[in-house]
A and B are shown apart, each in its own frame.
Chain A
Amino acid sequence: MSAHEPARERVRGIAMSGLKADLYRVLKYAALIAWAIFVVAPFLWALSTSFKSDPGVVGGATYIPFLEYEPTVDGWTALFRDTSSGGISMQGPYLSSLVVSLISTSIALFLGTLAAYGLSRFTFRAGPLGNNDITFFFISQRIMPPAVLAIPYFLLLRFTGLLDTHLGLILVYVAMLLPIVVWVMVDFFNTVPIELDEAALIDGCNPIQAFYRIILPNCAPGMVVATLLCIIFSWSDFFFALTLTFAKVQLLPPTIVILNSNKVPWWSLSASALVSVLPLVIIAFVLERYLARGTLAGVIRE
């Protein structure tokens, strides 16, 4: 009897700790669910609103279609209708935004990655200035708030005749994105030991091959982070799109915001907001596993 006592004691101990673990898990999921609601609810509300018409909006808050209001797809079809027939004609700005953000992201990634590799691997000297100063120079461009930059950029683009063009906006975005890419990538390249470059050079690579066959693959998570940051910035930028383009070129964020002007079409506004978030959601899902692997598992820690 007494011989069984300790065993029973132990079993109870396990049960106790199991209970504790359960409680912990419950609390954990409760917190996660609360956060998820906080994050997702606005989207659901927007989704619900996008199917409403006037009565569904002005008569106080309503949420559930068919029960609380009569759903209509007018908010969605308006996105593609001509302005003359009361629509927003979103395709144009949508395409413009896609083109501008994809091109500027690609250019910034290409140039920024090369610049970062150079800064990570070679020593540059210009009088008293060295690599760290150059890196800081890149980052320092992001110290100034966009409001300060807007007027100089405006004048610059007007002077070069690039105001209200895709190219002008792309150039401005590249200037804004480069520091991010350089900053992120210098850090990643610095974690890759230089012996890898040297081994590749001796193995038969020229410096460019060593870069893209050996070093770049080992910095893939960094590329993913940089890409994500670039696309988020260039896709959702409102300020420069508003100040540097107006007639010929129209980007998505200003187009959506302008809907707010006189009589607000809440349904179309909601629909367009959802549509404009869509690319980022897709990218987030695609890149998620790389991100998790990069930041949590360590890149090449051995």
Chain B
Amino acid sequence: MAEVVVSGVFKRFGPVAALEEIDLTVHDNEFVVLVGPSGSGKSTLLRIIAGLERQSEGSVAIDGRDMAGIAPKDRDVAMVFQSHALYPHMNVFDNLAFNQRIRGVDRKTVDRKVREVAERLEITELLRRRPRQMSGGQRQRVAIGRALVRDPRIFLFDEPLSNLDAELRVRLRTVIKRLHQEMRRTSVYVTHDQVEAMTLADRVVVLRDGRIEQIGAPDDLYERPVNGFVAGFIGSPAMNFLQGTAAEGVVRIGETETGAAGAASGAVIVGIRPEDLLPDGAADRGRLRALVTLVEPMGADTLVFCTTDEGQELTVRLPRYTAVHEGETLALGPREGAVHLFDPETGQRLN
């Protein structure tokens, strides 16, 4: 059992508010990812949960117990840092064992736990090495191992993969996901990478400027973003935003009309994901005419960048066998029910 309840948390650095009125419950065994651009306060929130930083207002409770005045070491949380933060003067074994030793666990148990974790993370052959004698990926594995040895109530991850190259990042992401599937431990994971957020999370918390924009399962966030920010932040390549007008259930984008539910009227921002733009047939009226300016074959699919007749930029994701070339004109239509409407002033979702 480990449930984290954050309620009404504010964090101010002088006059600057880093977090404003954060309410968040991380359920038992849940993997929650805090995601947002830099400066959104996601790391600050994690550090407040860890006890490394104190909130200006509000409370953090773990398993119903208020954490005010409780030192990090007594919160039974383990943390993986972006910079791995392994102890440079100790070898891997001692790094893994340190938290057990300082807690007075007997030598045999420490030895067994360290070897179990090392085996599990495939770092047994590194046990005698110093941190500086290892690669970035190995170090981060050890850092994860250090948290695992603890067998804590809660795992905290502060951008653990951000310093690694793309290939390693994907590989370690899988390691983390698999570990969570096996251990089912309450986890809070901070990242600025929405792909990491989508792939790892049971629930994603999108933060911006110290405020929670939306909380939801990855699919919910992807399919029903509550505002333009979340819509643009989640998904890669990003959602297309077009200027349009809505009246009586019909949305017009330039010459194009599309049915969209909702009682919106007047100027709207129309959001369409790259994979929801379909090139159907010839460039007749009623379709979005777009000139192809760049084609990026990605293997599994192809990204096509175009400019509409009205001069708006579009990204389209097409299946890989579609033959498209620069200079062609596509006639694009949005997939039925995949059109998101946002208020141009407030950014809030309209449909």
Which residues of A approach B to under 8 Å, CB–CB? 193, 195-196, 198-206, 209, 213-214, 217-218, 300-302
Q: A213 to B71, alpha carbons, bound, how many Å?
A: 18
Contacts of B98 in A (CB 8 A): 200, 203
Closest residue of A by beta carbon distance from B80: A199
- With the chains together, A198 CA to B88 CA distance in Å? 14
- Are A204's CB and B102's CB within 8 A? yes
- The distance in angstroms between the C-alpha atoms of A300 and B90, with both chains bound, is 12
* Chain A residue contacts of B108, Cβ below 8 A: none
Q: For residue A299, which residue of chain B has the nearest CB?
A: B88
Q: Are B85 and A218 in contact (CB under 8 A)?
A: no
Residues of B59-95 contacting chain A, CB below 8 A: 71-73, 77-79, 81, 83, 85-89
Q: Closest residue to B136 on the A side, CB-wise?
A: A302
| Nearest-CB residue, chain A, relative to B50 | A202
Please list the residues of chain B having a beta carbon within 8 angstroms of any beta carbon in chain A.
50-52, 71-73, 77-79, 81, 83, 85-89, 98-99, 102-103, 131-132, 146, 150
A206 near B73 with CB under 8 A, answer yes
Give chain B residues whose Cβ lies under 8 Å from the Cβ of A301: 132
* Shortest distance between the CB of A10 and any CB in chain B (Å): 37
Contact yes or no, A199 B87, CB < 8 A: yes
Residues of B within 8 A of A213 (CB): 102
Indicate the member of A198, A201, A301 with the most B CB atoms within 10 Å.
A198
Q: Determine if B73 and A203 form an interchain contact, defined as CB atoms under 8 angstroms apart.
A: yes
Contact (Cβ within 8 A) B72 A201: yes
CB-CB under 8 A for A202 and B102, given A217-B89, A302-B131: no
Residue numbers in A under 8 Å from B81 (CB-CB): 195, 198-199
Residue of chain A at shortest CB distance from B101: A204
In addition to A199-B86, A302-B131, 15 A-B residue pairs with Cβ atoms within 8 Å of each other are A193-B85, A198-B72, A198-B79, A198-B81, A199-B79, A202-B50, A202-B78, A203-B102, A204-B99, A205-B102, A206-B73, A218-B87, A301-B132, A302-B88, A302-B132
Among B50, B51, B78, B87, max chain A CB count under 10 A is at: B87
Q: Check A202/B72 contact, CB under 8 A, given A195-B81, A213-B102, A302-B131.
A: yes
- Chain B residues touching A, majority SS: mixed
List, in ascending order, chain A residues with CB within 8 A of B102's CB.
Answer: 203-205, 209, 213
Which of the listed residues A195, A201, A204, A214 has the most CB atoms from chain B within 10 Å of its own CB?
A204
CB neighbours of A198 from chain B (8 A): 50, 52, 72, 79, 81, 85
Cβ A201 vs Cβ B73 within 8 A? yes
Residues of the A chain whose Cβ atoms lie less than 8 Å from the Cβ of B85 = 193, 195-196, 198-199
Across the A-B interface, give the 9 residue pairs with the lowest CB-CB distance, nearest first: A203-B99, A195-B85, A199-B85, A300-B88, A204-B102, A201-B72, A204-B73, A217-B89, A202-B72
Q: How far is the CB of B191 from chain A (nearest CB, A)?
A: 17
CA distance A193 to B88 in the complex (A): 11
Asked if B73 and A218 make an inter-chain contact with CB atoms under 8 angstroms apart, the answer reads no
Q: Which of A200, A202, A204, A218 contacts B88 (CB 8 A)?
A: A218
Query: Which of A203, A213, A214, A301 counts the most chain B CB atoms within 10 A?
Result: A203
Question: Smallest CB-CB separation from B81: which chain A residue?
Answer: A195
Contact residues in A for B132 (Cβ distance below 8 Å)? 300-302
CA A206 to CA B71, docked complex, whole Å: 8
Return chain B residues, CB-CB under 8 Å to A195: 81, 83, 85
Q: How far is the CB of B103 from chain A (nearest CB, A)?
A: 5
State the Cβ distance, B12 to closest chain A Cβ, in Å. Answer: 15
A217 to chain B: which residues have CB within 8 Å?
Answer: 89
Contact B131 A203 (CB under 8 A): no
- Which B residues are CB-close (under 8 A) to A202? 50-52, 72-73, 77-79
Give chain B residues whose Cβ lies under 8 Å from the Cβ of A201: 51-52, 71-73
Q: Which partner residue on chain A sits nearest B152 by CB separation?
A: A202
Give bound CA distance, A200 to B89, whole Å.
13
Contacts of A300 in B (CB 8 A): 88, 132
Contacts of B83 in A (CB 8 A): 193, 195
Q: Pull 10 A–B residue pairs with CB atoms less than 8 Å apart, ordered by A.
A: A193-B83, A196-B85, A198-B50, A199-B146, A201-B71, A201-B73, A202-B52, A202-B73, A203-B73, A203-B150
Residue of A nearest to B88 (CB): A300
